[in-house]
Amino acid sequence: MPDCPAIRVVPAGAVSRPELLRLDVRAAQRPYVGIIADLLADAEQCPGCEPMAILLDGAPIGFYRIETRPGSIAGRDFAEPTLGLRAFFIDHRWQRRGLGAGALAALLADLARRHPAARQLALTVNIRNTAGVALYRRAGFADAGALYHDGPAGPQHLMLRALP
């Protein structure tokens, strides 16, 4: 995974809300991710989630949230301490520049600092989202061999990545 020192992650509350609300994905990606206004509103109502902003040179270019109750990711519990990753995206104006890999590297480094007891990161990704599946595989995620069928846009791969 490439190291991109200009990319860092911060709690979404550290970024102005109007800046975050300008983030968006392509229309074809919305069924997989949603829209930022809904993601932020949902995060405000969700105990145990940590909404995060992805910054490039200090400006927001993406968003994700960490779930400290990973059962909400795939409707199941995990044998070892696990965090969940939800709604990871890079704004459409910044896509196709390799920034997703740098953002994942920054995310993983942040988790190592803030959640040292966690042993793995879980996510689900729609089976039709081939670009997302490829990005997660390059970042060290492996398919857990089970599909999650309760996603709003259809079946999703459950993917796991060991944390240091």
Q: Domain for residue 1, yes or no?
A: no
Instruction: Give residue 2's pLDDT.
Output: 47
State how far the alpha carbon of 130 is from the alpha carbons of 32, 94, 96, 110, 136, in Å. Answer: 11, 18, 14, 26, 10
Reply yes or no on whether the pLDDT at 149 is more than 70: no
Q: Domain residues for 139?
A: 7-162
56 falls within a domain: yes
pLDDT of residue 76: 80
Burial (CB count <10 Å: 0-12, 13-18, 19+), residue 4: middle
Q: Is residue 2 part of a domain?
A: no
Residue 53's domain is classified under what CATH number? Answer: 3.40.630.30
Is 59 a member of any domain? yes
In a domain, residue 98? The reply is yes
Within a domain: residue 13?
Answer: yes
Q: How far is CA 1 from the centre of its chain?
A: 16
Question: Does 33 reside within a domain?
Answer: yes
Give me the mean pLDDT over the 22-49 stretch.
92
Nearest CA among 103, 77, 98 for reference residue 88: 103
CA distances from 65 to 1, 83, 146 (A): 20, 10, 22
146 belongs to a structural domain: yes
| b/e map 90-109, b = 16+ CB within 10 Å | bbeebbeeebbbbbbbbbbe
Question: What would the pLDDT profile of 90-135 be if each residue is shown by its tens digit?
Answer: 999 999 898 999 999 999 999 999 999 999 999 999 888 888 999 9
Model confidence at 152, in pLDDT bands (50, 70, 90)?
low
The pTM of this model reads 0.91
Query: Does position 18 have pLDDT exceeding 90, yes or no?
Result: yes
40-98 residue pLDDT tens: 999 999 888 999 999 999 999 999 999 998 777 777 888 899 999 999 999 999 998 98
Domain count for the chain: 1
With a cut of 90, say whether residue 24 has pLDDT above it: yes
